């Protein structure tokens, strides 16, 4: 059985609301292992690398502004099909329609801000996970 690795971020809204422990609890309860974890205040350079594919889009600057607004907890989680599993655990991007039982469905709501503040980020593919882990855990 091959293990995958994924990057999970608890975004500034999740850190501010003291939901880091709850996010970790859900990751571990699902059966995934946390192999690395750190809390950092990201700078613009790091975030520009992470969100490079969105540069030039209307939401790019508000997204960077939001992600610069506070500390972020970066997590490497490991497990069989962890990328797919965590994305299901996180719920859909829009917290208003995210299913109950998911992180976003239970813990986030639309704040009417320029970008959706939805507690967590999870890599969307093995390639993204590799790239994102290298950015956050050089």
Q: Over the stretch 76-130, which tens digit does the pLDDT of each residue have?
A: 999 999 999 999 999 999 999 999 999 999 999 988 889 999 999 999 999 999 9
Residue 138 confidence (pLDDT) above 90: no
Burial track 56-85 (b if 16+ CB lie within 10 A, e otherwise):
eeeebeebbebbeeeebbbbbbebeebbeb
Q: What is the pLDDT of residue 111?
A: 87
Residues tagged active-site: 121
DSSP reduced 3-state for 78: strand
Q: Which domain holds residue 22?
A: 4-136
Q: Residue 100's domain is classified under what CATH number? A: 3.30.70.141
52 pLDDT tier (thresholds 50, 70, 90): very high
Confidence check: pLDDT of 31 > 80: yes
Look at the chain and report how many structural domains it folds into.
1
pLDDT band at 1 (very low <50, low <70, confident <90, very high): low
Residues listed for the chain: 138
């Amino acid at each position: 059985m091959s293990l995958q690795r994924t990057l999970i971020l608890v975004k500034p809204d999740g850190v501010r609301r003291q939901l880091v422990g709850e996010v970790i609890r859900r990751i571990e309860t699902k059966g995934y292992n946390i192999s690395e974890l750190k809390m950092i205040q990201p700078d613009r350079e790091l975030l520009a690398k992470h969100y490079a594919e969105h540069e030039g889009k209307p939401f790019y600057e508000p997204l960077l502004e939001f992600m610069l607004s506070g500390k972020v907890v970066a997590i490497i989680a490991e497990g069989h099909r962890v990328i797919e599993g965590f994305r299901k655990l996180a719920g859909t991007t829009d917290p208003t329609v995210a299913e109950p039982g998911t992180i976003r469905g239970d813990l986030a709501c639309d704040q009417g801000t320029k970008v959706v503040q939805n507690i967590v980020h999870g890599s969307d593919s093995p390639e993204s996970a590799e790239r994102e882990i290298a950015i956050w855990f050089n």
